[in-house]
Amino acid sequence: MINRELNLSKLLKKNYSALIFGARGTGKSHLAAQYIESLGTSSEVMQLNLLESDTFEKYLKQPHLLRKEIVKKFDRGVASTPLCVFIDEIQKVPKLLDEIHSLIETYPGHVQFLMTGSSARKLKRSSANLLAGRALSLRLHPFTYQEWGNDIFDRLQFGSLPGIAFKFRDDDDTVKLALKSYVSTYLKEEMSIFRFWKTHWLR
């Protein structure tokens, strides 16, 4: 296991909430999962994966359900210990952030939200509530040299995205194919959006 420089256990003491942004494949979900595991029995954990179609559709149609579910936990005394809510790919349902804002204000110090997102731009474009002053805005980058002090020439050739370079490090052909797929499905998508923004807004 490689320890990341972004130390959530240190940053999220006192039940601080956080938004973790970063490109796809940088290990955001894995880092969040490690943090949740480190909590042990000190906190109750609630997890929402918005990549799951049923979960996505549920909260997209009725984002207020998150607030109702958490309020019910506190009303019943279920969340007698601090509650940590992990939401993966928060940018898919931006309206959840308003509910999260309300819950942080209602239960200060008792509920913590840990959210990951691959597109801060998408949230800003939708005028989403980015929880300024109520959640830390963190960014996770690919492996640094300090995190993974491997052959620098190898990293220059294959990059340091954990989801690619680490997973397929012993198979050069697969790494090349994975990087090609990453460029075609992610980087080109990002660049096309940037060109649209530049064409229509930077006049």
* CA distance to 115, 152, 160, 192, per residue, from 2 (Å): 21, 17, 12, 34
Q: Give the separation between CA 130 and CA 137, rounded to whole angstroms.
A: 8
The C-alpha R_g of the chain, in whole angstroms, comes to: 19
Q: Are strands 135-139 and 83-88 parallel, antiparallel or unpaired?
A: unpaired
User: CB within 8 A of 35, min separation 6: which ones?
Assistant: 8, 9, 12, 114
User: Residue 175's pLDDT is what?
Assistant: 78
In the beta sheet, which residues pair with residue 138? 20
Q: Give the separation between CA 3 and CA 146, rounded to whole angstroms.
A: 10
What is the residue whose two structure tokens read 């801060």? Answer: 120
- 80: its two tokens: 């007698």
Judged by DSSP in three states, 190 sits in: helix
Q: What is the mean pLDDT of each run of 10 residues along the chain (203 residues)?
A: 87 92 89 94 92 96 97 80 93 93 93 88 69 88 80 74 71 78 68 49 47
User: Residue 34's pLDDT is what?
Assistant: 94
User: Residue 145's pLDDT is what?
Assistant: 80
Sheet strands (E) in the chain? 17-21, 44-49, 83-88, 111-117, 135-139
Domains of the chain from N-terminus onward:
8-141 (3.40.50.300), 150-203 (no CATH)
User: Residue 146's pLDDT is what?
Assistant: 81
The interaxial angle of helices 64-75 and 53-61, nearest 10 deg, is 90
User: Residue 193's pLDDT is what?
Assistant: 45
